[in-house]
């Protein structure tokens, strides 16, 4: 039989073990948790030096987000490679500095939006400026400076993957470099490039994501992020755990007039020694305009537009194809607001519009709905309202 003193000692030891266990759990949760609401520190634009070096001066007072959750092949497990993001802003730009610690770095130099960027090391940002899971703005870069951007929308796209439209072209800047222990990337994103609610004080949901090849797991392609993933969630765009607060930002309203004049001269001769008989020169001219009435409402139009000056299409072969070939839209006039016209069945194919005499477009994206009204050659193609899902 135990004495009273021995019994008291055993009870004390048991209580001490419980206390140590609870203390360990508390400390573990403190280490794993991150601040959900990030009130970003505002600094002057001239303090940013976009050179691929995340300097102490640039991230002094910046909010820190660490990539803590592997999405694949793991499931909310701790990534084997560490990635840290530093966030701050100026009156007109959002700054994100990335420090990625890697055993080796694979960063191909590619053209913009080339899929090869996803097969190496990269880091990107997903932003929901309206906070309603209507869409996520995706901005991405690798250490070589190769960029990609897109809009991710609800549901699944063709092939069963995420519904992503990469025809958008946000005018952001990024610069990266490979270091002795990994790589660094700097992003400078103008507020004028992003759609968001009217007002000088903003609250945006955000997620930092990254990818790399994991030599510790047979070279598997790893995808990891600052937010926990859920393979069962019906709303993948809702899985952004953090919100950034930006106060007293300045919004530049667009007012662009884009005139053009072009001409060509052709001639022929029947014999080599004859003079060339030139035809009358063909003159073409037109005018485009883009007026932003506020952050959510813009009017864009063009008279006698020259839609031919775009990047050449990649060669595609249509032998034995049961359907017509659809090419990506590259013309800026059709790209803004393209997410409202993105149908899984290709109901609207803007590339079939090639020589209009007049075109106009009204875009309005509010907090609960979006509206795009394009008009080509005085013929109304469509009027579409996208309610908040």
Is pLDDT of 248 > 50?
A: yes
Helical ranges in the chain per DSSP H? 4-32, 56-59, 332-335
**Looking at residue 30, what is its pLDDT?**
41
Q: What is the pLDDT of residue 76?
A: 94
Arithmetic mean of pLDDT, 329-356: 64
pLDDT at 57: 87
pLDDT grade for 369, boundaries at 50, 70 and 90: low
Q: What is the mean pLDDT of the chain?
A: 81
Least confident of 43-52, 199-208, 342-351: 342-351
- Alpha carbon 52 to chain centroid, angstroms: 19
Q: What is the pLDDT of residue 52?
A: 92
Of these ranges, 115-119, 257-261, 271-275, 351-355, the one predicted with the greatest mean pLDDT is 115-119
**Which residues have C-beta within 8 Å of that of residue 97, sequence separation ≥ 6?**
54, 58, 59, 62, 85, 86, 87, 184, 185, 186, 187
Question: Nearest 5°: phi and psi at 234?
Answer: -80, -10
Peptide bond into 152 cis (omega under 30): no
Cβ atoms 34, 226 nearer than 8 A: yes
CA 284 to chain centre: 37
Q: What tens digit of pLDDT does each residue of 180-200 get? A: 999 999 999 999 889 898 889
The SS3 assignment for 10 reads helix
Judged against a pLDDT cut of 90, whether residue 324 lies above it is answered with no
Burial of 176 per CB tally in 10 Å (0-12, 13-18, 19+): buried
DSSP assignment string, 116-174? GGGGS-EEEEEEESSSSSS-EEEEEE-TT--EEEEEEEEEE-GGGSEEEE-------EE
CA distance 65 to 164: 25
Q: Are 71 and 226 in contact (CB under 8 A)?
A: no
Let me know if 140 is exposed, middle or buried by CB neighbors in 10 A (0-12, 13-18, 19+).
buried
User: What are the structural domains of the chain?
Assistant: 34-246 (2.60.40.1190), 255-292+296-309+326-387 (no CATH)
Q: Check residue 88 and give its pLDDT.
A: 96
Residue 108 has pLDDT above 70, yes or no: yes
Q: Residue 39 pairs with which residues in a beta bridge?
A: 245
Check residue 303 and give its pLDDT: 84
State residue 73's pLDDT score. Answer: 92
Q: Is the pLDDT of residue 349 over 60?
A: yes
Least confident of 59-68, 250-259, 338-347: 338-347
Q: Is the pTM of this model over 0.85?
A: no
When pLDDT is averaged across residues 14-22 and rounded to a whole number, the result is 57
Q: How confident is the model at residue 286 (pLDDT cuts 50, 70, 90)?
A: confident
What is the 3 state secondary structure string of 194-235? CCCCCCCCEEEEEEEEEEEEEHHHCCEEEEEECCCCCCCCCC
Q: Is the Cβ–Cβ distance between 233 and 76 less than 8 Å?
A: no
Taking alpha carbons only, the member of 149, 155, 153, 189 closest to residue 168 is 149
Do 376 and 382 form a contact (C-beta atoms < 8 A)?
Answer: no
Higher pLDDT, 330 or 40: 40
pLDDT bin (cut points 50, 70, 90) of residue 263 is confident
Give residue 323's pLDDT band: very low, low, confident or very high (50, 70, 90).
low
Q: What is the mean pLDDT of residues 288-292?
A: 84
Average pLDDT in the 55-71 region?
93
Query: Is the pLDDT score of 27 beyond 60?
Result: no
Q: Which tokens belong to 233?
A: 């969630």
Over residues 296-314, the mean pLDDT reads 73
Average pLDDT of the segment spanning 213-233: 89
Burial of 333-364, coded b for 16+ CB within 10 Å and e otherwise, reads bbbbbbbbbbeeeeebebeebeebeebbbbbb
**Taking 70 as the threshold, does the pLDDT of residue 301 lie above it?**
yes
pLDDT in tens, 129-177: 999 888 899 999 999 999 999 999 887 766 667 888 887 888 899 999 9
Rounded to 5 degrees, what are φ and ψ at 26? Answer: -60, -45
CA–CA separation, 337 and 346 (whole Å): 16
């Amino acid at each position: 039989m135990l004495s009273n003193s021995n019994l008291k000692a055993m009870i004390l030891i048991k209580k001490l073990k419980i206390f140590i266990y609870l203390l360990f759990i508390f400390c573990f949760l403190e280490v794993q948790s991150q601040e959900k609401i990030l009130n970003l520190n505002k600094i002057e634009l001239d303090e940013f030096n976009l050179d691929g070096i995340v300097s102490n001066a640039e991230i002094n007072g910046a909010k820190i987000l660490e990539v803590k959750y592997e999405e694949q092949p793991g499931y909310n497990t701790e990534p084997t490679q560490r990635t840290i993001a530093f966030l701050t802003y100026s009156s007109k730009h959002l700054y994100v500095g990335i420090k990625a610690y890697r055993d080796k770095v694979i960063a191909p130099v590619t053209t913009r939006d080339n899929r090869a960027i996803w097969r190496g090391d990269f880091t990107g940002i997903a932003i929901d400026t309206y906070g309603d899971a209507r869409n996520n703005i995706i901005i991405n870069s690798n250490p070589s400076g190769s960029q990609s951007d897109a809009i991710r929308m609800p549901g699944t796209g063709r092939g069963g993957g995420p519904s992503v439209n990469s025809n958008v072209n946000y005018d952001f800047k990024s610069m990266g470099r490979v270091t002795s222990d990994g790589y660094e990337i700097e992003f400078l994103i103008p507020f004028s490039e992003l759609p968001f609610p009217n007002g000088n004080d903003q609250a945006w949901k955000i997620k930092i994501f990254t990818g790399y090849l994991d030599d510790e797991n047979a070279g598997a392609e790893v995808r990891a992020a600052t937010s926990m993933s859920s393979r069962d969630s019906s709303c993948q765009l809702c899985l952004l755990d953090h919100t950034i607060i930006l106060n007293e930002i300045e919004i530049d309203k667009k007012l662009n007039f884009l005139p053009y004049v072009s001409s060509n001269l052709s001639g022929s001769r029947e014999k080599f020694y004859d003079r060339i008989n030139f035809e009358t020169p063909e003159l073409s001219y037109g005018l485009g305009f883009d007026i932003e009435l506020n952050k959510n409402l813009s009017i864009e139009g063009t008279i006698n537009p020259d839609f031919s000056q775009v990047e050449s299409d990649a060669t595609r072969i249509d032998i034995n194809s049961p359907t017509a070939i659809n090419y990506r839209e590259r013309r800026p006039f059709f790209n803004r607001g393209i997410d409202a016209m993105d149908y899984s069945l290709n109901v609207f194919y803007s590339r079939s519009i090639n020589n209009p005499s007049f075109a106009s477009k009204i875009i309005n994206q509010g907090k609960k709905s979006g509206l795009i009204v394009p008009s080509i050659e005085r013929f109304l193609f469509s009027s579409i309202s996208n309610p908040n899902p």
